[in-house]
Structure 1
Amino acid sequence: MLIHWYRLANWLYRHHVPLLPRLIYYLQYILFNSSVPPSCSIGGGVKFGYGGIAVVIHARAVIGNNCIIGQCTTIGGKSGHYEVPRIGNNVHISTGAKILGPITIGDNVIIGANAVVVKDVPSNCIVAGVPARIIRTNIRVEDYD
């Protein structure tokens, strides 16, 4: 449901409609306790776990296609850096994960629950821990769905 509100607000934002994107942003904040600004870029097929409860996404973040974002997830910047996370396609971000700073997450990556990712993650691997580290490589995401 949250993704539908985001898509509407993003469409209005891209078409320079004043005020409405901001109102939708506040409405989704009240309904879902989430901060998903209309200015961020979220690809097609993205799903929010449990309706996207308590998800926080930076206004300039870029998220690829067919990703799954668990509840209580933060995708945000880092003090002193202008750049924000860029997330590839087919990425599964588990509950409570934090992705912070000017990093790139490759395609077909699984990020474990409550992991704190502060470094780039290559494609086709699983990361977990605080701070997150690679625990397995050369995976197929379809095997873990």
Structure 2
Amino acid sequence: MLKLFRLANLLSRYRIPFFPKLIYYVNRIVFSVVLPASTQVGKNVIFGYQGLGIVIHPRVIIGDGVVVGTNVTIGGRSKIYAVPTIGENTIIGSGAKILGPIKIGRYVDIGANAVVVNDVPDYAVVVGIPAKIIRIKNIE
């Protein structure tokens, strides 16, 4: 799934119109993931169960080493152009929703089914609806 996405992303950067869209639909049908070719995905990103149920906005930026659980939505909110930016080595629990023009810091843990609508600082652990910071991890 991720290899197909990377191929679609490469073809999209070279402005080849048909094949990125075809690969998008193959990923959508076979893996049940919405991952447009224009999304910026870092190195060593892991999508749980090959991306099952994941929906990602085309302008989202995902940093290196991020782990994304199943049924996660990362996208915008109506009438707001900006979308989330996910920092490196973040863990996003299954069913989480990350919405709006927010920045998720580095080494953040987002709990299962959390709804994140505000910025999250580095090393934070957030849970709940709406997501609240329950602690800041030790950096040592």
Provide the TM-score with structure 1 as the length reference. 0.93
CA shift, 1:87, in A, is 0.5
Query: Corresponding residue for 1:85?
Result: 84
99-108 vs 10-19, greater mean Cα deviation: 10-19
- Residue 38 (str. 1) matches residue 37 (str. 2): yes
CA distance in 1 between counterparts of 2:57 and 2:116 reads 15
Deviations for 1:47-92, whole angstroms, at most 9, x for unmatched residues? 1111110100000000000000001000000011000000100000
Query: Corresponding residue for 2:104?
Result: 105
Q: Which amino acid aligns with 2:135?
A: R
CA distance in 2 between counterparts of 1:35 and 1:134 reads 28
Deviations for 1:73-117, whole angstroms, at most 9, x for unmatched residues? 000000110000001000000100000000000000000000000
Post-superposition, which runs of at least 4 consecutive aligned residues in structure 1 deviate over 2 A?
none
How many residues of Structure 1 are paired with residues of Structure 2 in the alignment? 139
- Residue 56 (str. 1) matches residue 74 (str. 2): no
CA distance in 2 between counterparts of 1:139 and 1:49 reads 26
Q: Which runs of 5+ in 1 are unaligned?
A: 141-145
| Paired residue secondary structure (1:75) | strand
| Paired residue secondary structure (1:35) | coil
The answer (yes or no) to whether the contact 1:10–1:21 under 8 Å persists in 2 is yes
CA distance in 2 between counterparts of 1:28 and 1:51 reads 10
| Paired residue secondary structure (1:135) | strand
Query: Corresponding residue for 2:121?
Result: 122
Provide the TM-score with structure 2 as the length reference. 0.97
* Pairwise CA RMSD: 0.8
CA shift, 1:39, in A, is 0.3
Query: Corresponding residue for 1:134?
Result: 133
| Paired residue secondary structure (1:119) | coil
CA shift, 1:138, in A, is 2.7
Query: Corresponding residue for 2:13?
Result: 14
CA distance in 1 between counterparts of 2:17 and 2:131 reads 40
CA distance in 2 between counterparts of 1:82 and 1:99 reads 15
Identity within the alignment, %: 50
